[in-house]
Amino acid sequence: MTLYTTPNLNKALSVVDLAEMKRAGEKICCLTAYDASFGALLDRTGIDLILVGDSLGMVVQGQESTVPVSVEDMVYHCRCVTRARKRAFVVADLPFMSYATVEMAAQNAARLLQAGGAQMVKLEGAHIEIIRFLVEQGVPICGHLGLLPQFINQLGGYRVQGKQPQVAEQMLADAHKVEQAGASLLVLECVPATLAARIARELTIPVIGIGAGADCDGQVLVLYDILNIDVGRKPRFFKNFMTGVGSIEEAVRQYRHQVKAGMYPAPEHCY
Banded model confidence at residue 1, pLDDT cuts 50, 70, 90: very low
- The answer to whether residue 71 sits within a structural domain is yes
Average pLDDT over residues 235-242: 93
- The answer to whether residue 146 sits within a structural domain is yes
Q: Residue 215 is part of which domain span?
A: 15-269
Question: For residue 157, what pLDDT is reported?
Answer: 80
Average pLDDT over residues 96-118: 98
> What is the domain count for the chain?
1
CATH number of the domain at 256, please. Answer: 3.20.20.60
Average pLDDT over residues 151-177: 93
- The answer to whether residue 9 sits within a structural domain is no
Banded model confidence at residue 4, pLDDT cuts 50, 70, 90: low
Choose, from 26, 124, 179, 189, the residue flagged as catalytic. 189
Instruction: Name the strand (E) or helix (H) holding 92.
Output: strand 89-93
Determine the Cα–Cα distance for residues 234 and 27; give it in Å rounded to an integer: 24
Q: Which residue has the higher pLDDT, 11 or 10?
A: 11
Q: Would residue 189 show up in a list of annotated catalytic residues for this protein?
A: yes
Judged against a pLDDT cut of 90, whether residue 127 lies above it is answered with yes
Q: Give the pTM.
A: 0.96
- The answer to whether residue 1 sits within a structural domain is no
- The answer to whether residue 19 sits within a structural domain is yes
- The answer to whether residue 145 sits within a structural domain is yes
Judged against a pLDDT cut of 70, whether residue 257 lies above it is answered with yes
User: How far, CA to CA in Å, does 265 sit from each of 193, 194, 237, 245, 271?
Assistant: 10, 14, 7, 19, 11
- The answer to whether residue 10 sits within a structural domain is no
- The answer to whether residue 256 sits within a structural domain is yes
Question: For residue 264, what pLDDT is reported?
Answer: 98
